[in-house]
Amino acid sequence: MDSFQTALPPAKTRRKARVGLVAGGLGTYWPQFPDLLPQLEQSAEFVAERFREFDADVVDVGFISDARDGDRAAEVLRRADCDIIVLFLTTYLTASMVMPIAKRSNAPILVIDLQPTEKMDHATFDTGAWLAYCGQCSVPELGNVFRRSGVPFRSVSGWLNQPSAWRRIEQWINAAQVRATLRHARHGLMGHVYPGMLDVSTDMTLLPATFGSHVEVLEFDDLRVRVASVTDREVTERMDLAREIFAVDSTVDEDDFFWGAKVSVGLDRLVDDFGLDSLAYYHRGLDGEQHERLGAGMILGASLLTARGIPTTGEFELRTSVAQLVTQVVGAGGSFCEIQALNFEDDVVEMGHDGPAHLGVASREPTLRGLGVYHGKRGWGVSVEFDVQHGPVTVLGLGQDADGSLSLIASEGEVVPGPLLAIGNTTSRVDFGRDPGEWVDEWSGTGVAHHWSLSTGHRSGDYRAAAQLLGIDFREVRGITDHARSSDRPITRRETHA
- pLDDT tens digits along 445-492: 999 999 999 999 999 999 999 999 999 999 999 975 454 333 333 334
Q: Report the pLDDT averaged over residues 65-88.
A: 97
Q: What pLDDT does residue 1 have?
A: 59
User: Over 70: is that where the pLDDT of 495 sits?
Assistant: no
For the chain, counts of helices (H) and of strands (E) = 18, 20
Q: Report the pLDDT averaged over residues 171-179.
A: 97
Q: What pLDDT does residue 376 have?
A: 66
Q: Please give the full DSSP string across 226-272, using - where no structure is assigned.
A: HHHT--HHHHHHHHHHHHHHSEE-TT--HHHHHHHHHHHHHHHHHHH
> What gap in Å lies between CA 279 and CA 220, rounded to an integer?
12
Rounded to the nearest 10°, the torsion over CA 483, 489, 493, 495 is: -140
Q: What pLDDT does residue 497 have?
A: 43
> What gap in Å lies between CA 278 and CA 280, rounded to an integer?
7
Q: Report the pLDDT averaged over residues 253-262.
A: 96
Q: Report the pLDDT averaged over residues 228-246.
A: 97
User: Over 60: is that where the pLDDT of 2 sits?
Assistant: yes
Q: What pLDDT does residue 486 have?
A: 36
In this prediction the pTM is 0.92
User: Over 80: is that where the pLDDT of 68 sits?
Assistant: yes
User: Over 90: is that where the pLDDT of 356 sits?
Assistant: no
Share of the chain above pLDDT 90, in %: 84
Q: Please give the full DSSP string across 445-477, using - where no structure is assigned.
A: TTT--S-EEEEES--HHHHHHHHHHHT-EEEEE
Taking a C-beta distance cutoff of 8 angstroms, is the pair 274, 308 a contact? no
The three-state (H, E, C) secondary structure of 131-163, written as one string: HCCCHHHHHHHHHHHHHHHCCCCCEEEEECCCH
Residues sharing a CB contact under 8 Å with residue 39, sequence separation 6 or more, in sequence order: 116, 132
Q: Report the pLDDT averaged over residues 347-369.
A: 91
Q: What pLDDT does residue 448 have?
A: 95
Q: What is the mean pLDDT of the chain?
A: 92
Taking a C-beta distance cutoff of 8 angstroms, is the pair 380, 296 a contact? yes
Instruction: Write down all domains in the chain, each with its CATH number in brackets.
Output: 18-174 (3.40.50.10940), 185-495 (3.20.14)
Q: Note the pLDDT tens digit of each residue in 287-326.
A: 889 999 999 999 999 999 999 999 999 989 999 999 999 9
Taking a C-beta distance cutoff of 8 angstroms, is the pair 285, 378 a contact? yes
Taking a C-beta distance cutoff of 8 angstroms, is the pair 301, 312 a contact? yes
Identify the weakest region by mean pLDDT among 178-187, 360-369, 486-495: 486-495
- If pLDDT is split at 50, 70 and 90, which confidence band does 413 have? very high
Strand order in the sheet with 247-248: 247-248, 367-371, 381-385
> What gap in Å lies between CA 477 and CA 462, rounded to an integer?
15
